[in-house]
């Protein structure tokens, strides 16, 4: 999961997380949805995710790419944090 947001001083920041899509009912909201599992638990994950200031939209990919995304941010001179590494 990747959220690209900006910091208080106007610089871009990558907020990154890895989790797992799991089977289960999907809310019938008409939007794209998936059920996710994050470590160590959803409450801790959400607390850590929100503390990093992500936008309310994010990208979701298949596979584990957090370290690659963090490396890309480094090449671009951007701050990046992987919240599931706390």
Mean pLDDT of the residues in the chain: 92
pLDDT score, position 35: 85
What is the value of pTM for the model shown? 0.87
**46-62 confidence digits (pLDDT tens):** 999 999 999 988 999 89
What's the rounded Cα separation, in Å, for the pair 65 and 69?
6
Q: Which residue has the higher pLDDT, 24 or 51?
A: 51
What's the rounded Cα separation, in Å, for the pair 33 and 12?
26
Contact 79, 73 (CB under 8 A): yes
Strands 79-82 and 12-16: parallel
Contact 21, 52 (CB under 8 A): no
């Amino acid at each position: 999961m990747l959220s690209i947001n900006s910091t208080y001083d106007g610089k871009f920041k990558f907020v990154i997380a890895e989790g797992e899509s799991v089977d289960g009912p999907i809310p019938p909201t008409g939007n794209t949805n998936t059920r996710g599992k994050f470590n160590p638990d959803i409450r801790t994950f959400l607390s850590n995710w929100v503390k990093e200031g992500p936008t309310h939209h994010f990208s979701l990919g298949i596979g584990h790419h957090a370290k690659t995304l963090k490396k890309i941010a480094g090449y671009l001179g951007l701050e990046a944090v992987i919240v599931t590494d706390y």
